[in-house]
Structure 1
Amino acid sequence: MAQKSAEPLDIELADLPQALRWREWMARVEAVLFASSEPVGRDVLARVVGRDCALDLLIEDISAELAGRPYEIARISGGWQFRTRPQHAGAIRMARGEGDATRDLTQNEALVLTIIAYMQPVTRGAISRLTGREVSRDLIARLHRQALIARGPRSPEPGAPYTYVTTPGFLVQFGLESLRDLPDLEALEDAGLLKLAADIALDLPITSEDE
């Protein structure tokens, strides 16, 4: 016996009063975000609401209703995603049995990741020149295993080495919507979060060895 096909979703909901229509759209968007482990883009959410729905305002209304809850909707990597609020991170780690053993980036890893984020695409050799010391393949591999960086295009310099770029996982990890949201380097230094040698000029593009 053939299974009855599901009826198409009514996204316009023209038969409902405006207030009820808006509530139903809110519920649908919240359900889609709740069910996804990745940021959900505008194009995906637009499939479950009507043409006249202002998604940004809709999500603002959902966020307002989540005030006081231990989770929130964050704009990350070009989309929206549910995430727990930072103040509850310790409780979550403890519940998972992780305790204080969660591994943070080492100072060297953080420096290399910062250079890649601001200079991408950039080669390992260029990173070494910036830091004034050799950057090991193991360090690059550790960042790659954490899905923070990936291989970019090959560099035009001799030997055509691979360049490295940050990943969407990097944006998610640090709660950024896009690379445009990276903090100003001077602000990082003033806050004591980034201490660079005086001769490291991250605002200068790095290309070939001779240049």
Structure 2
Amino acid sequence: MTNERTDERTDESTDDSAVAADGETFQRLRMVEAVLFAAAEPMTEAALAARLPAGADVPALLAMLAAQYARRGVQLVKRGAGWAFRTAPDLAEVMTLDAVDHRRLSRAAVETLAIVAYHQPVTRAEIEEIRGVTVSKGTLDVLLEAGWIRPRGRRQSPGRPLTWGTTDAFLDHFGLDSLKDLPGIEEMRAAGLLDARPALAAYGARAADPGTLEDRETPEDEDADAGSGGWDGA
């Protein structure tokens, strides 16, 4: 009889621990959900970990939360290095009905953004060489203000020109998980982003080989002072 009671108490203790563990996980899931919902931009796992109790398994929590939202109208997705809630892709048509286009990029800005995306890290002089025309400071300012490009470092060459690359905000805005998801050259031509100029069409060669783009995300010549302030237009 004593052994039976001991076994019963052991079973009850085990059940209580399981319930406590489930309750702890559930509470942490709620915390991750709340933080991401309130965030103005995608959050990295490190940023989320800083908001959670020590020892929280952030990757596991994100995977669980993403699974819970997988069939919902709002889904948890990864954009670059960050995580954010976004409307389900199949509901895009419904959302488009209420969308308002507040800004339209100029042709120069679209071409410059495409060149940066496919050739990063790239200097202003290299952008001008590909486009065949001068790149105005205003064009880069528009892309900087939108948060789609950022200084990447300085090239180890005479004059140490500043190089440019895209941001996670760029990936998020265009619905890309990574640079490998950039459209190919035929898709760009169909969208009217490539014209008859041979120099401009040259950047399409990068689109034909998207597998190499990830290798260019972190340039070897990146300089710590490149993103510390304004840019000098180099």
Q: TM-score, normalised by structure 2?
A: 0.62
Listed as ranges, the matches of 1:23-172 within 5 Å are 23-46=26-49, 48=52, 51=55, 53=57, 55-67=58-70, 69-85=72-88, 87=92, 88-90=94-96, 93=99, 99=100, 101-172=101-172
Structure ranking higher in helix proportion? 2
1:22 to 25, 31, 53: 25
**What root-mean-square deviation, in Å, do the aligned CA atoms of Structure 1 and Structure 2 show?**
3.4
Identical-residue share of aligned pairs (%): 30
Kept in 1: contact 2:176–2:182 (CA 8 A): no
Q: Report SS of the residue matched to 2:133.
A: coil
* Structure 2, gaps ≥5 residues long: 1-15, 207-215, 217-234
1:14 shift after superposition: 5.5
Q: Report SS of the residue matched to 1:104.
A: coil
2:184 matched residue in structure 1 = 185
2:202 matched residue in structure 1 = 201
Q: Report SS of the residue matched to 1:110.
A: helix
Q: How many residue pairs end up in the alignment? A: 185
For 1:111 and 1:14, how far apart are their aligned partners in 2?
A: 59
Change (3 A) 1:49 1:114: same
* Structure 1, gaps ≥5 residues long: 1-12, 94-98, 206-211
Amino acid at match of 2:34: A
Q: Report SS of the residue matched to 2:19.
A: coil
